[in-house]
Each structure stands twice: as C-alpha cells, then as structure tokens.
Amino acid sequence: MAKTVIGVFRDRQKAEQAVRELRGQGFGDQEISIVAKDPGQAARKTGGTQNDISDGTAWGAGIGGTAGLLASAGALAVPGIGPLLAMGPLAATLGGAAAGGLAGGLVDYGIPEQEGKKYEQRVKQGDVLVVLSSTKNVDKAAQILRQHGAEDVMTR
C-alpha cells in the first residue's frame, strides 16, 4: 500500500535539490509531485520580474535536466489560490479539483482536510510543496526532504 510524504520548502532551489536526491534514490517521476504558486503570472501582469519560480520551463530544467520536469507541467487555476505550476500525479488530481482546491486534492493522498488546508495556505503564500506517494521506503523520503530544508514534513 502506498504511503504519502509531504513537505514544504520556502526555497525553490532546496526543493529542486530534494527532488533530485529523491530521483537518485530510485523514486520515480510517477511518484513525485511538485506544486508551487505561479508568480510568473503576477510578474507578467506587472511587467516585473521575480526571484522565485517565475518560469515553469526554467524551473523544470533545473530539476530534471535537459527535459525538465516542469517544462511539461500544467499551469492550473485552483480555487482559493489562483495560478499554480504543478507536475506529477498530483497535477492531474488538481486539474479535476474544481471545488476542493489543493486541500481537496491532498485528501486523495490521505492528508486530512485540516492539514491539507495548512499546506494550501503555505502554497498560497509562495512556498513550494513536494509530495511523494510510494510503496518504497517513505521514511527515507521524509529524511531527504528534511535534509534539504523541508518544513511541516508529514508521512501518511
């Protein structure tokens, strides 16, 4: 039975490093999801630039090498949050979560609704969410997330 590990990163580069290490430890792209607010939307509207995730292609290239995990990520509009960049299996769940938002999508991963709302709020504030759903050693995955600076790490 699959278990879920979830962690929040304040820093995009640390999230990228954690994902790289997860992949290096044998966790596949079909197990790893990343969700982040798309501040590029705000930058494009104001004509400004931002120092965080403002381009899904650039971020994806940083995570996944030449192909880039987020290069093919969907830009989603999630109720209560707004535009998001999302990749991995959670992106498909969020695409169908018209009313439940991110918190509702996390319920499908075994995250209690109250906790999901906490994670949703963190993403809304600009943090990056890394979610792993696997039958492999999720304790190792949680350790990797923590080593790279993840906060609010939960295993379910």
Query: For the sheet containing 82-87, what is the strand order?
Result: 74-78, 82-87, 32-37, 128-134, 3-9, 151-155
H helices of the chain, where?
12-24, 39-46, 56-64, 89-95, 101-107, 113-124, 138-147
Q: For residue 76, what pLDDT is reported?
A: 67
CA angle, residues 75, 11, 38, in degrees to nearest 5 = 20
Q: For residue 6, what pLDDT is reported?
A: 97
Q: Which domain holds residue 78?
A: 3-155
Residues lower than pLDDT 50 in the chain? 42-72
Q: For residue 14, what pLDDT is reported?
A: 92
Q: For residue 39, what pLDDT is reported?
A: 61
Q: Which residues contact 6 (CB under 8 A, 6 or more apart)?
A: 106, 109, 111, 119, 129, 130, 131, 132, 152, 153, 154, 156
Total domains, the chain: 1
